[in-house]
Amino acid sequence: MPGTDKKYKRILLKLSGEALMGDEGFGIDPKVLDRMALEIGQLVGIGIQVGLVIGGGNLFRGASLQKAGLDRVTGDHMGMLATVMNALAMRDALERANIPSRVMSSIPMSGVVDHYDRRKAMRALERAEVVIFSAGTGNPFFTTDSAACLRGIEVEAELVLKATKVDGVYTADPVKDPSATKYDQLSYDEVLNKQLEVMDLTAIVLCRDHKMPLRIFEMEKQGALLNIVNGGDEGTLVVEL
Ligand SMILES: Nc1ncnc2c1ncn2[C@@H]1O[C@H](COP(=O)(O)OP(=O)(O)O)[C@@H](O)[C@H]1O
Ligand SMILES: O=c1ccn([C@@H]2O[C@H](COP(=O)(O)OP(=O)(O)O)[C@@H](O)[C@H]2O)c(=O)[nH]1
C-alpha cells in the first residue's frame, strides 16, 4: 500500500503566504487552501504529525510597509497579524476536509486563537491534530522561515519543509537567473557562505546549530509532500554534510 513505509513521524511544514494567493495579486485563494488541506490530510491519514507555519507575504510584509513609509516595527506587527489571518483560513479549509486542527499564536489573542504553548502543541500533535503556529516568532525583525525552524526544533519535528514557488535551492535565484542550476543536497554552511537567498540566514543558522534537516520543495507540485515523507527526493535537502 503506498505510504505505509513512511520515514517521518513528525514534520514542520512552512507555507509561504504568497503561495496562498494563487493567481490573485493579493489575499487568499480558497482553491489553493483546499488543495493544501487535501495534501496535508494525506499525511495525517498515514499517521504523520504535522505542524504548520504560514507566512503573511500575500497580505503584509514589514520591510515593504517600511519602504512605503510606515514604521518598521508597526509593519512587522501587521505582517505577524497577517499570518494569523492566513492560519484561520487554513484551519477553516482543514475543518472542511474533516482534518482536526488548531491555531496557536505567538501573540496572545484571546477569543480568537490559543496562545502558543509548546507542551499543549506537542500533545495536540500526538493526538493527530494539525497545529498551525501563527504570528511568527512574536517578534519584529524576524521572518516566518525562522519561526518555522524555531517551532520545528521546539516541538522536536524530524524535518522542516519549506514549500515555495521554486523547486529547490539553486546556484542563484532561478527567477532572476535562468542559467542557475539546482542542488539536490547541500550543507548549512554552503547555503550561508554562498549567500543563497532561498531562506533567511537566521533560519539556516538555527537549523545548523540544532542539526535540523531542511527540505525546500515546490508547493505547486502535486504529490511532492507525500513523496518526501515517504523518503523521496524532491527539491533540495539541506543537512550537515
Ligand atoms: N539560490 C536560490 N535558490 C532558490 N530560490 C532562490 C534563491 N535565491 C533566491 N531565491 C528566491 O527565494 C524565493 C523563496 O522564498 P519564499 O520565502 O518562498 O519567497 P518570498 O520571500 O517571496 O516569500 C524563491 O521564490 C526564489 O525566487
Ligand atoms: O517572527 C516574525 C515573523 C514574521 N514577521 C512579519 O510578518 C511578515 C510576513 O512574514 P513572511 O515575510 O515571513 O511571510 P512569507 O514570505 O512566508 O509569506 C514579515 O515580512 C514580517 O514583517 C515578523 O515580524 N516576525
Q: What is the mean pLDDT of residues 16-20?
A: 89
Distance CA 69, CA 3 (A): 50
- Residues in the ligand 1 pocket, defined by CB under 6 Å: 16, 18, 55, 57, 164-166, 169-170, 172-175, 196-198
Q: 239 Cβ partners below 8 Å, 6+ apart?
A: 185, 187, 188, 213, 214
Question: What was the pLDDT predicted at 3?
Answer: 45
Compute, in angstroms, the gap from residue 133 CA to the centroid of ligand 2. 13
**2 or 23: whose pLDDT is higher?**
23
4-19: average pLDDT: 87
- Span 70-115, pLDDT tens digits: 999 999 999 999 999 999 999 999 999 999 999 999 999 999 999 9
Best mutation site among 64, 78, 83 for ligand 2 pocket (most ligand atoms within 8 Å of CB): 83
* Nearest alpha carbon, ligand 1 atom 4: 169
The pTM of the full predicted model, rounded to 2 decimals, is: 0.96
Reply yes or no on whether the pLDDT at 4 is more than 80: no
DSSP H helices, the chain, are 17-20, 30-45, 62-67, 72-96, 118-126, 144-154, 188-193, 201-209, 224-229
The residue type found at 20 is: L
**Percent over 70 (pLDDT), the chain:** 98
- 228 CA to middle of ligand 2, Å? 26
pLDDT of residue 5: 58
* Helix, strand, coil share of the chain (percent; to 5): 40, 20, 45
Residue with the three cell numbers 513528525? 10
Distance (Å, rounded) from C-alpha 164 to C-alpha 215? 11
Percent of the chain residues topping a pLDDT of 90: 91
Segments making up each domain of the chain, as ranges: 10-239
Give residue 200 CA to ligand 1 midpoint distance, Å: 9
Model-level ipTM above the cut of 0.85:
yes
Select 10-239's CATH number: 3.40.5.90, 3.30.9.60, 3.40.1160.10, 3.20.20.140.
3.40.1160.10
What span, in angstroms and rounded, lies between the C-alpha atoms of 52 and 41?
Answer: 12
What pLDDT, on the 0 to 100 scale, is given for residue 19? 83
- Residue 75 pairs in a beta bridge with none
Q: CA-based angle 194:196:197, to the nearest 5?
A: 145
Q: Read off the pLDDT of each residue in 34-45 and give the average, rounded to a whole number.
A: 96
CB 76 within 8 A of CB 103: no
Distance between Cα 6 and ligand 2 center (Å): 31
Query: Using an 8 Å Cβ cutoff, are 140 and 72 in contact?
Result: yes
- Would you say residue 36 has pLDDT above 50? yes
Pocket of ligand 2 (CB under 6 A): 16-18, 55-57, 61-63, 75-76, 79-80, 82-83, 136-137, 139-140, 142-145, 147
Query: Which pLDDT belongs to residue 101?
Result: 98
52 carries a ligand binding annotation: no
